[in-house]
Amino acid sequence: MDVAPERLPRWLENFERRHGTYTETGLTLIAEDGATAAWQVPPGAPAVETIAELITEAGKPRRLGLLLARKGAVAVGIAEGDELVVSKVDTHYVQGRTAAGGWSQQRFARRRDNQAKAATADGAGIAGRILLPEVRSLSALVTGGDRTAVDAILAAPPLAPVAAVRAERFLDVPEPRHAVLVSAIAGARSVSVLVKEP
């Protein structure tokens, strides 16, 4: 699960209330009843060794790049803390699959492939305009949507510096729109925890 940085202290209190006193082993909590909670630092935060350091670092505002893509749609932005400071959203029509057979099916497949390539090229162009000038100031790039579409955009050679700061976190988001980009900031800033009940 993902926990907003400002909710971390409260989450730890609730974990202790439900499972009893816990001990820390690095970023893993082991409670009296055997429950464990293993934490990961949020994208762009430095490596830490204790939960106290995790709370401190997670709460610091970071400058994050965002790249969300699905077939024919891309949303790119830069967030400072929980605020979206610059963004661009674009959509392209990419034809869906067709039930036609024979030559028609091949023609539609070629058209769909060409439309997808054009959408990818435009997405790479937008990412280049928004993210490349700011790449040195970004703590990380957080991506989401459709992994194939995102990978295709970041495969553009000019975006190599942007791809180099890509975080492991991949957000599950619907078709990229401005509202989706704004809501993705919370997922990009959050701290991931894997809880195992006894």
Helix or strand run (H / E) with residue 25: strand 22-25
CB 184 within 8 A of CB 171: yes
Task: Give the tokens for residue 27.
Answer: 């970023």
Residue position matching structure tokens 């997808």: 116
- The pLDDT score that the predictor gives to residue 2 is 93
- The pLDDT score that the predictor gives to residue 107 is 59
Residue 68: how many CA atoms within 13 Å on its side-chain side?
28
- The pLDDT score that the predictor gives to residue 92 is 58
Q: Which residues contact 141 (CB under 8 A, 6 or more apart)?
A: 64, 65, 66, 67, 131, 162, 163, 165, 166, 167
Q: 3-class DSSP state for residue 82?
A: coil
Handedness of CA 14, 15, 20, 26 (dihedral sign): negative
- The pLDDT score that the predictor gives to residue 110 is 62
Helix or strand run (H / E) with residue 2: strand 2-3
pLDDT < 50 stretches in the chain: 93-95, 98
Tell me if the domain spanning 63-188 has CATH number 2.60.120.460: no
Domain with CATH 3.30.420.60 in the chain: 63-188
